[in-house]
Amino acid sequence: MPTIIALDASLSMLRPVPGRNDHTYQSLALKGIQHLLDNLTVAGKLEHLALVTYSTVCELKVDFTRDYDQIRQAIKKVEPLDKACLITMLKTCVSLMASWGTQNVLQLVVFTDCGPGFGSTSISGFLESFIGKEAEPEYVWLKTMSPYHLNFICLGVHSDLYFTRGLTLLQQLLDATALKGLLYMIKPIKNMEASEGTSSSSHKNEQGFGRTAVFELVERMCESNYKSTEVTLKCGHYARLESQVLIWPPPLPYEQPAPFSGDSTIRHIDQRIDVCGFLSLSDIGSPATVSRHWVLAKVEREKPTRRSGSLTPTSKPSKLTLDSSSPHYELDKLEQDIREFYMKDSKDTEESGDDADPGVALKHSSGQQSEQQKDTLCMLLHGALKLENMAALVTLGEKWYGFIYAYTDVKKKSNLMLHILPPGVNVVPWLGDLDMLGFPEDLAPGETSSFPVRSERRSYSQSSVVWIRKASLQSDVQKVLRHAKKMPDKTQHFYKELNRIRRAALALGFVELLEALAMLLEKECAQMSMNGLNNECTIQLQHAATELRKTSNRDIKSTIVPLQKPGHPDAVPSSAYIY
Amino acid sequence: MFELNQKTLFVLDHTRYFSISSEQYISMDYLKGKPVMEVQACSGVSVGGTQLSKSLWTSAVESSIEYCRIVWDLFPGKKHVRFIVSDTAAHIVNTWSSSTQNMSHVLNAMMMVSVPTRSIPQSSDYSVIHGLRAAIEALAEPTDDQLQAAKLGCQKIPNEGRVICITSARDNTSMKSLEDIFNTVLLQQNALSAAPSNKGLIIDHCHLVILNIVPLGVESLVSNRTLIGVSPLLDVEIHTVSAPDIPDKLLHLIMGHYDLASTTVTNIPMKEEQNANSSANYDVEILHERCAHTMVCGPDFTLPTSIKPGTAYETVTLKWCTPRGCSSADLQPCIGQYNVTPVDVTSRPSSCLINFLLNGRSVLLEVPRKAGVRTTSHMLSARGGEIFVHSLCIARSAVDEAPAISDGPGGRISDYRIPEMAQLLKISRMVPQKVKPKGRTSSGEHLWRRLPRYFPRTSNVTVLFNLQRQLSWLPHFLHLLVKEDMDKQDEVRCQQQIHELYKSASRGDMLLFGNTSSNRSKAGKSKEQYRLFYRELEQLMLLNAHTQHHKNLLESLLSLRSAYGDAGSKIETGAVNMRSFAESPLSPERLEPSSSSSLLRGSKRRMSTSGQRSLLEIVSSADRQSCKRLEFSGRLCTPLAQTAQLYSDIGNREKESSSSCMSTTILKEESIRS
């Protein structure tokens, strides 16, 4: 989900936070951004992030990147300047987001003290000119923005009138423009007396607005926007052929229209993705997909600490301790013993007799490495799919399928990719009903079956006759005459073409053509006999012309056949009937 | 699903007027190099040269058939077109049934209709009204899809349709009366359909398009009229067209009726027959759903459009990219696929492009972008005899620039059993079936039953599979073990193999290492390897225990393991414990392990095939095998002459790890397995 982090860089951000002399709003905002980066780092550094700062002007500080350090560096250099102008920032974001098209979920995270701005560029100024002129072309950008997820991390306390007034205006703006926006703020203290001695969160609020509160807001925002989709990928009954995986970016709910009439239903992919078979990529082709996702092995990572502000490398070595309560304890134990057995073996060859603890080698590795050294189903499946150029057909829900395959990008980097097909079993015509796919053993004896599933013939794959343009009629007639000149070699072709034209002419009620064709053939015949050419040819042409004129031949079943005995034309029935 | 365009009816006027010429003459003389002698002029052919003209009837038929050609090519099985021919009565050409919704049926039927005869007297019996009446009745008939919906319990089935009437009216007044009659009949039909006994559907809405046809150069008194709502049920539009222009008119109309768009593929290199060395570039125009264009367009991206001379609709021009390889066409990021059909199906460039695609090659289509950078926005490909245009995703995507999977979890491991996994993939390649495979519950389950129940992911966690190459008997043995329908014979063979294994272990034969070249292993190592071998075998058997035979084998193996001083992995607390076993002065020759209890010995004796069994034991075990009902598991795993202990693990949980309760844990383990 491409995300723009927008930082308010107006002068009001330099105000100290009430009751907290060590913090300004800006320093809190920076802490918040860092915490957001930490959270996204833990989630795998997958999101593309960009940083803009805004005051009267909106500046792009860091363009979309997965290198979060660039943003960490850039926010240190932000210097507040004059007044906040939210609308300018929103407009800039629309143009920045343009390259992402409409297939991605676009996120905007704004860190602001909710300053409403001043004058015509303020929120209230915008609302005044906007209301009643919603359809004007200058507000088209709002329509582009409507699918974006806007998140405002609102820095301030409710006892501050400046803040609450800003909040109200912000909400008015979202309501008036129908943008999908959410304001994250600390809960207002409704009743001072009631809050006394109740929940701990209200206690915090009383103390004022600090770092912890900002972290909470960021975490709430991450929880609702950046939650990863975790599913079980099941590829067989064996425990090791089943694994927890992350689907990234999270698949969006699919709005499936009702089959005939009525309300549409919202569908989510199942918690378990079942592999049901394999197909070669060349059979699949490029069917239309709802969305594309990476399939990543799930790893346990530690949550970022709120203290440090940045990630500290975990000091504790991750241990390969086995959980005896796990259902696969027996198997885990066996695998570990075999692994140790081999490791000891290789060690023996290096330094014989050394009876060192086989766990030692693993204990020294850092978290990152040990994570890379745990075998995963994704890697195994990826390797095999890539080797065979195949894809796995997976079920994502009731009558809903997808493909998992090894995708290699232009930089030769390879990944396990999931293509989600639209729900339904007949979504890929050339694969047929996806519910009906099986294995060769399922076929009846002697039956063969292969892809693609063939459709009925379309107009372009049969020799259609369309005479709407003069030229196509002329070229069809020309073709007959060309064959006519090459008789007797082309006698069969001549009659085939002749019958094709005749049938088409009859279907269209184009009897004029039959007469015209007969005349043309006679002309041709006359010319040939004049030049004293080809006896066989003239006889056939004369025969064909006669047959074309016969009204008895204007029947669906009749076919003109070549004259069999040129010498005795009367001896042979000139037209045959196919029953 | 049931939109206005799902049902279209052509009502063709088959009255005498339609036999007259359209007055557009097609010359056939150009075919001749030399002037020819005069041929007597015949009826329907103009005097002099070979010239001919289509009748109004032919013009109407050919253009309406072209309309349905496009519809059926683009929406196979989804959109329906029917024809009704009207003279003294209505003649139904085809029905809503899919067997009659195709070109060859319609063409064959039209052959029997033929051009109206000129000799028939003008009479009021001949009218297009019959056809319009029949059209309204046909609209009330349900299509297969609507019947399906009704069967599935859909209460209110939407039913709309379009009637395209090709006729000729004298003036606006007669047109008006036509309209009024249509409206009245529509209301009557709905009243009929409302009756509970009637099977017809209520018509929710109807769109009537009247094409008033005149020969070329004839003025009509009927004025054109754009779409107006005559009643809440009925919209009518009227077009007066000269006969040669009907195809163009209908092509324009069809674009709106089905929301189609046109793409002109430009710069297609084609070799000329005359000079095969050089190639000229051609353009081919194709039609498809408009979505194919709108899908790829975004806020900052639009496709370049132009208007072809002689038409009034826009076409998007995309440039042909000569394909390099075939493989690049698979699993492109495609966001929509749509059927296509060429506008001019018989032209040479069209058929050239079609054949290229039908032969299995795909073509990417480029669009010039603002900054001069070219983007491939579409792809043409044929699958199963159908040509599709694929709209490709051209915007930046979140899944672009992926870090490689080898940098992720598990990426540093090099000994995945990929070739073995690839074998599994190959044997589980799917094929289309005519009937749902028998006994299939879910598609996932159907596959999983074929896949092994024990399949280590990497080669450094398996002893068994690494030894497959060294021990020639092993692959067959493993094959027998996993057989779902193992019979007595298979079991005996496996028992023998297990016994052999036991003997070679007793002799201290070395097992070769699968993945290392080292043969310098010590005796202790070899023993450990056997032990792991047994444990893995046990794991495999456990997961494959389908029949009693499998269970018998498992029991043999367990007794073998205990004989080898490795009495079930549950009692081990870890590597330390294992090492202590390995270091104990236990020689393979000594069959009775010192650590095993009397109970264990009993069980071993009962189950092992090594022949030390009393007659009673043999008889009773034979009894047990012949018993059809499965024996109570507690009794099965308790040695003879002892009482089966129920809930043996109660109170023992804490002590589980200590070796003192070895016997009970074994009992528990076995009761789980059997």
pLDDT of residue A314: 43
Instruction: Based on the fold, state whether residues A540 and A433 are members of the same structural domain.
Output: no
Residue at A422 is within a domain: yes
pLDDT of residue A323: 63
Instruction: Based on the fold, state whether residues A382 and A529 are members of the same structural domain.
Output: no
CA distance A386 to A278: 12
pLDDT of residue B245: 92
E strand or H helix at A335: helix A329-350
* Alpha-carbon distances of A525 from A494, A541, B27, rounded to whole Å: 14, 6, 19
Instruction: Based on the fold, state whether residues A525 and A556 are members of the same structural domain.
Output: yes
Percent of chain B with pLDDT over 90: 32
Instruction: Based on the fold, state whether residues A201 and A146 are members of the same structural domain.
Output: yes
pLDDT of residue A304: 62
Instruction: Based on the fold, state whether residues A236 and A220 are members of the same structural domain.
Output: no
- Disruptive mutation site among B104, B443, B521 for chain A (greatest number of A CBs within 10 Å): B443
The answer to which of A385-394, A418-427, A461-470 has the lowest mean pLDDT is A461-470
Q: Is A511 on the interface with B (CB under 8 A)?
A: yes
Q: Is the pLDDT of residue A227 over 60?
A: yes
From the list A222, A210, A158, the residue with the least C-alpha distance to A188 is A158
Q: Is A147 on the interface with B (CB under 8 A)?
A: no
- CA A486 to chain B, closest CA, distance in angstroms equals 16
Grouping H, G, I as helix, E, B as strand and the rest as coil, residue A213 is helix
Q: Is the pLDDT of residue A354 over 50?
A: no
Cα-flanking dihedrals φ and ψ of residue A510, to 5°?
A: -100, 65
Interface contact flag, B346 A522, Cβ < 8 Å: no
Decide: residue A220, CB within 10 A, 0-12 exposed, 13-18 middle, 19+ buried: middle
The answer to which of A306-315, A435-444, B126-135, B149-158 has the lowest mean pLDDT is A306-315
Residue at B105 is within a domain: yes
Q: Which residues of B touch A281 (CB under 8 A)?
A: 327, 330-331
Mean pLDDT of B178-203: 88
Residue at A334 is within a domain: no
CA distance A469 to A488: 31
Under the banding of pLDDT at 50, 70 and 90, the label for residue A319 is very low
Instruction: Based on the fold, state whether residues A533 and A393 are members of the same structural domain.
Output: no
pLDDT of residue B480: 80
The answer to which of A425-429, B178-182, B436-440 has the lowest mean pLDDT is B436-440
pLDDT tens, residue by residue, A134-148: 888 888 888 888 889
pLDDT of residue B645: 66
Under the banding of pLDDT at 50, 70 and 90, the label for residue B471 is confident
Instruction: Based on the fold, state whether residues B249 and B305 are members of the same structural domain.
Output: no
Which chain A residues in 293-312 lie under 8 Å from chain B, judged by CB atoms?
293-294, 296-299
Q: How many CB atoms lie within 10 A of CB A386?
A: 18
Instruction: Based on the fold, state whether residues A106 and A253 are members of the same structural domain.
Output: no
Which chain B residues in 242-271 lie under 8 Å from chain A, judged by CB atoms?
247
Instruction: Based on the fold, state whether residues B471 and B529 are members of the same structural domain.
Output: yes
Mean pLDDT of B428-447: 81
Interface contact flag, A276 B444, Cβ < 8 Å: yes
Q: Is the pLDDT of residue B592 over 50?
A: no
SS3 per residue for B622-650: HHHHHCCCCCCHHHHCCCCCCCCCCCCCC
Scan for tokens 């049926």, then name that residue: B105
Q: Is A264 on the interface with B (CB under 8 A)?
A: no
pLDDT of residue B100: 92
DSSP E strand stretches across A368-477: 390-397, 400-408, 414-420, 437-438
Q: Where are the alpha helices (DSSP H) in B457-517?
A: 474-481, 488-507
- CA B71 to chain A, closest CA, distance in angstroms equals 10
Q: Is the pLDDT of residue B434 over 60?
A: yes
Which of residues B355, B377, B392 is at a domain's end? B392
Instruction: Based on the fold, state whether residues B279 and B178 are members of the same structural domain.
Output: no
- Disruptive mutation site among B59, B143, B295, B447 for chain A (greatest number of A CBs within 10 Å): B447
Mean pLDDT of B341-345: 93
Residue at B35 is within a domain: no
Interface contact flag, B432 A453, Cβ < 8 Å: yes
- A192: Cβ–Cβ under 8 A, 6 or more apart, which residues? none
Mean pLDDT of A186-212: 55
Instruction: Based on the fold, state whether residues B72 and B191 are members of the same structural domain.
Output: yes
Interface contact flag, A436 B69, Cβ < 8 Å: no
Residue A393 sits in a domain of what CATH number?
Answer: 2.40.290.10
Q: Is A443 on the interface with B (CB under 8 A)?
A: yes
Mean pLDDT of B255-262: 94
Q: Which residues of A touch B426 (CB under 8 A)?
A: 278, 388
Residue B294 sits in a domain of what CATH number?
Answer: 2.40.290
pLDDT of residue B522: 56
pLDDT of residue B445: 83
Measure the N-to-C terminal CA separation of chain A; round to a whole number of Å.
Answer: 66
Mean pLDDT of B284-302: 85
Percent of chain B with pLDDT over 70: 74
Per the structure, the count of domains in chain B is 3
Instruction: Based on the fold, state whether residues B164 and B287 are members of the same structural domain.
Output: no
CA distance A389 to A284: 11
Interface contact flag, B384 A430, Cβ < 8 Å: yes
Instruction: Based on the fold, state whether residues A562 and A539 are members of the same structural domain.
Output: yes
Mean pLDDT of A105-110: 92
Instruction: Based on the fold, state whether residues A502 and A424 are members of the same structural domain.
Output: no
Per the structure, the count of domains in chain A is 3
Per-chain mean pLDDT for chain B: 78
Instruction: Based on the fold, state whether residues B240 and B284 are members of the same structural domain.
Output: no
Which of A533-537, B93-97, B467-471 is modeled with the greatest confidence? B93-97
Residue A47 sits in a domain of what CATH number?
Answer: 3.40.50.410
Which of residues B392, B408, B434 is at a domain's end? B392
Q: Is the pLDDT of residue A317 over 50?
A: no
Q: Which residues of A touch B539 (CB under 8 A)?
A: 330-331, 334
Q: Is the pLDDT of residue A64 over 90?
A: yes
Taking CA atoms, what residue in A is nearest to B401?
A: A409
Token digits of residue B137 = 């009745």
Q: Is the pLDDT of residue B388 over 90?
A: yes
pLDDT tens, residue by residue, B480-529: 877 777 788 888 888 888 888 777 777 766 666 544 444 445 556 677 77
Instruction: Based on the fold, state whether residues A183 and A246 are members of the same structural domain.
Output: no
Under the banding of pLDDT at 50, 70 and 90, the label for residue A318 is very low
Q: Is the pLDDT of residue B257 over 80?
A: yes
DSSP B258: T
B66 or B478, which is more confident: B66
Instruction: Based on the fold, state whether residues B251 and B279 are members of the same structural domain.
Output: no
Residue at A330 is within a domain: no
Residue at B325 is within a domain: yes
From the list B83, B362, B72, the residue with the least C-alpha distance to A456 is B72
Q: Name the residue range of residue B342's domain.
A: 260-392
* Alpha-carbon distances of B464 from B461, B518, B550, B563, rounded to whole Å: 9, 18, 18, 20
Residue at B397 is within a domain: no
Instruction: Based on the fold, state whether residues A135 and A108 are members of the same structural domain.
Output: yes
Interface contact flag, A474 B391, Cβ < 8 Å: no
Under the banding of pLDDT at 50, 70 and 90, the label for residue B598 is very low
Per-chain mean pLDDT for chain A: 82
pLDDT of residue B126: 86
Residue at B413 is within a domain: no
pLDDT tens, residue by residue, A362-385: 334 445 556 777 889 999 999 999
Interface contact flag, B438 A442, Cβ < 8 Å: yes
Residue at B31 is within a domain: no
Residue at A280 is within a domain: yes
Taking CA atoms, what residue in B is nearest to A44?
A: B408
Instruction: Based on the fold, state whether residues B250 and B373 are members of the same structural domain.
Output: no
Helix axes of B598-607 and B662-673: crossing angle, nearest 10 degrees: 30
Instruction: Based on the fold, state whether residues B252 and B267 are members of the same structural domain.
Output: no
Instruction: Based on the fold, state whether residues B470 and B380 are members of the same structural domain.
Output: no
Scan for tokens 């919704």, then name that residue: B101
The answer to which of A77-86, A129-138, A179-188, B635-644 has the lowest mean pLDDT is B635-644
**Which amino acid is present at A115?**
G
Q: Which residues of B touch A371 (CB under 8 A)?
A: 409
Scan for tokens 């005479």, then name that residue: A467
Which chain B residues in 317-346 lie under 8 Å from chain A, judged by CB atoms?
326-327, 329-337, 339, 341-342, 344-346
Instruction: Based on the fold, state whether residues B238 and B352 are members of the same structural domain.
Output: no
Minimum-distance CB partner of A101 among B346, B396, B419: B396
Mean pLDDT of A406-413: 86
Residue at A271 is within a domain: yes
Q: Is B150 on the interface with A (CB under 8 A)?
A: no
Q: Which residues of B touch A241 (CB under 8 A)?
A: 451, 455
Under the banding of pLDDT at 50, 70 and 90, the label for residue B613 is low
Instruction: Based on the fold, state whether residues A221 and A233 are members of the same structural domain.
Output: no
Q: Is A139 on the interface with B (CB under 8 A)?
A: no
Which of residues B232, B257, B282 is at a domain's end? B257
**Strand pairing class (A149-154; A181-184):** parallel
Grouping H, G, I as helix, E, B as strand and the rest as coil, residue B674 is coil
pLDDT of residue B275: 66
Residue at A85 is within a domain: yes
Mean pLDDT of B362-385: 83
pLDDT of residue A158: 84
Residue at B115 is within a domain: yes
Residue at B630 is within a domain: yes
Q: Name the residue range of residue A195's domain.
A: 3-225
Under the banding of pLDDT at 50, 70 and 90, the label for residue A524 is confident
Instruction: Based on the fold, state whether residues B244 and B270 are members of the same structural domain.
Output: no
